[in-house]
A and B are shown apart, each in its own frame.
Chain A
């Protein structure tokens, strides 16, 4: 499983692996917002947490279909399914690799982009904390969606439609933590709920992903 994780990370950072794609997309979305809304600092700083969260979520979505589709096309998935690795572990390793190559760079980049949206100073730590706690759920849910659509040609759009509604709880609580943090309000309740959503998805979805993968490989 460690071998699979290392291979996935290595594939992502090699040429054509899509590493940085999500990050660049995140950057562009966030840069476009002030252009669309005008350089009004008060408005921007009020919407900054929400915009950063939406941006991170969409950037995460961009690379989801690569999780299984590439391995399916070149036959690797069949071979992994017949290998000693349990499919549940395969799904967990792939979700982790996706998070390390997509979610983690977003967490690191978010404070820099916060400056562009004049996020209040108190908001930075909470923005990072909310993304750090919330983005693993995005990767795990996305892996489930990718497993569901693995055999489908050009399933990317279907994947987005399936996955985006599942992202709602994470988005609500994540953006709430960042918003409350920026406004010097209490963040404990949304943070606990955000962490709960992440923990539940990590605990349950690898099993669901493995089950649908088995179905799709028949």
Chain B
């Protein structure tokens, strides 16, 4: 399950933001993407997740359905309970068991609560617990630790470590130290020089 990014260029709104990005992530490895705001971290992660096509270059995946993506928004339904939210994602991904995810992210006491009544950090934890019920090997996470307190960051770090130990891979954009070994890829040198858009037919939108 090696994720390889070869000479990848990504574009946002038709304008290239990054080009010539190369990195690989083997099982058990975590890659952290860094760079100033607006450098294209989110765009790169969305491209990895398959939400938009690459502008140039290639993404080599062992399996098209290997990636579990978590963006800025958690995808939580406020009127459903924590359990119902997780069970929905588990069923979508053909998994049966959510107990493990609930335990790993410390959601046990919150399980029957309406997700709308959770704090921002608790919602984030629920959003991240969704990754554990997807059963997918490569986690692609965009600023996963936003609005998490120190304790929850540790909880998240432990969950990622457990995922890596079981042969998973993680690629995420983050600025804080997770407390375990990661490979840092600084995106600043890969900023696109060209600013002319190509093949962009969505201007009217």
Q: Which residues of A contact B (CB under 8 A)?
A: 2-4, 7, 10-11, 14-17, 73-76, 78-85, 151, 215-218
Contact = CB atoms under 8 A, between A and B. Distances in A.
B134 to A, nearest CB: 8
Nearest to B50: A82
Contact of A83 (B53, B73, B84, B93): B93
Chief secondary structure at chain B's binding surface: loop
Interface string B53-87: 10000000000010111111111111110001000
B130 interface: yes
Contacts of B80: 7, 10-11, 14
Given A79-B130, A218-B52, A218-B202, A74 B93 contact: no
Given A11-B79, A78-B75, A3 B202 contact: no
Given A78-B49, A82-B69, A218-B53, 5 more contacts: A74-B76, A75-B71, A75-B74, A79-B130, A83-B93
B165 interface: no
A-B pairs, 6 with minimum CB distance? A75-B73, A3-B91, A76-B75, A14-B79, A218-B52, A79-B75
A83 B80 CA distance: 20
Contacts of B74: 74-75
B92 interface: yes
22 contacts: A3-B88, A4-B88, A7-B84, A7-B88, A11-B77, A11-B80, A73-B73, A75-B74, A75-B75, A78-B46, A78-B49, A78-B69, A79-B71, A79-B75, A81-B51, A82-B51, A83-B92, A83-B93, A83-B134, A84-B65, A84-B93, A218-B53
A127 B172 CA distance: 57
Contact of B77 (A74, A81, A82, A215): A74
A215 B202 contact: yes
A74 B85 CA distance: 13
A80 B46 CA distance: 13
A210 B65 CA distance: 18
B205 interface: yes
B205 A217 contact: no
Contacts of B51: 78, 81-82, 217-218
A11 B46 CA distance: 27
A84 B89 CA distance: 11
